[in-house]
Structure 1
């Protein structure tokens, strides 16, 4: 082995741990989001959510075209806590690529009143959801999301 090869080999041994440190595991941070979705009335989960999201965090996915703030989401979830007390948001898969974490999850629940105008009369629903979380400096800055609420309403209407 010549001098150049030895130098490259030594450098790779020394620098290898630095390369892996550049790719932080953001899945634990993102899991806090789903813990809140399953416990929307819990102050400790709200506090944890506020801790892992940036102050200017945005929820992108409302068909009105208006993004929701952290406070707006927490307010909406407070309503969901009353309407769907057994709401459960189960993560089925997470995939991290750089500063993005994509999540496939399933939401289930039994509304105790009309959901989006549909009285489920005690029926429950199970829907698929897809979210893409963008992170910067270890905090979630934006979440793009799609939920199958039309499927939930179909299940609740008994059709």
Structure 2
């Protein structure tokens, strides 16, 4: 408008997607300059990029969930063949199974699986919580079953157990490269009502 001064001030409103002059004031959408020549196109590009990233993240999360499901199914069923499909050849299980020299890869669980298959033959593992941050995954899960065979020197009691396990995994692609684990064996022993004479 000739001879008039136009003052610009930022007004946050969803009703004004682009800038326009209203009653001598320059109304600007948040974070967009009134000098922008193609605000709609740039905004659409940003949304498209965000949508693509969301899809990529969703795919990565779904892949990780599938890997975790197979991993814990392999542990619960003591299935070495299945475990080999979800861990890397140099997979590390940290700390190593009690009394065993650290071995990399699925073979690290051969002795532990043999013991568990008789100690808790009906083992079930239920994933309770999963937290994913980049290629690191935290898992809270529950183990249930019956102590049907010797467990760390404790004879079979046929008592039910229900205890927590916590694991942190490092994932590479669709496989697990490292697993840091902690099981609540103290809680399991309390439920069994027996204590190992010596820990391996």
Q: Same fold (TM over 0.5)?
A: yes
The answer as to 2:49 corresponding to 1:11 is no
SS at match of 1:106: strand
Name the residue aligned to 1:127. 163
Q: 2:76 aligns with which of 31, 34, 38?
A: 38
Name the residue aligned to 1:145. 181
Deviations 1:91-134 (A, max 9, x none): 11212222122111111222223211222522222111111111
TM-score (norm 1): 0.82
CA contact (8 A) 1:87 1:109 kept: yes
Question: CA offset at residue 65 of structure 1?
Answer: 9.7
The answer as to 2:121 corresponding to 1:55 is no
CA contact (8 A) 1:119 1:156 kept: no
CA contact (8 A) 1:37 1:88 kept: no
Q: Which has the larger radius of gyration?
A: 2
Structure 2: 5+ residue runs without aligned partners? 1-17, 19-35, 196-200
Name the residue aligned to 1:86. 122
Number of aligned residue pairs: give it: 155
SS at match of 2:109: helix
Following superposition, which runs of at least 4 residues in structure 1 exceed 3 angstroms of deviation? 62-68
CA contact (8 A) 1:118 1:156 kept: no
CA contact (8 A) 2:87 2:176 kept: yes
TM-score (norm 2): 0.67
Cα distance in 1 between the residues matched to 2:37 and 2:102: 58
Cα distance in 2 between the residues matched to 1:38 and 1:22: 30
Q: 1:77 aligns with which of 81, 98, 113?
A: 113
Question: CA offset at residue 154 of structure 1?
Answer: 2.2
Larger relative contact order, structure 1 or 2 (CA cutoff 8 Å, min sep 6)? 1
Question: CA offset at residue 48 of structure 1?
Answer: 3.2
Question: CA offset at residue 57 of structure 1?
Answer: 0.7
CA RMSD of aligned residues (A): 2.4
Q: 1:28 aligns with which of 66, 74, 83?
A: 66
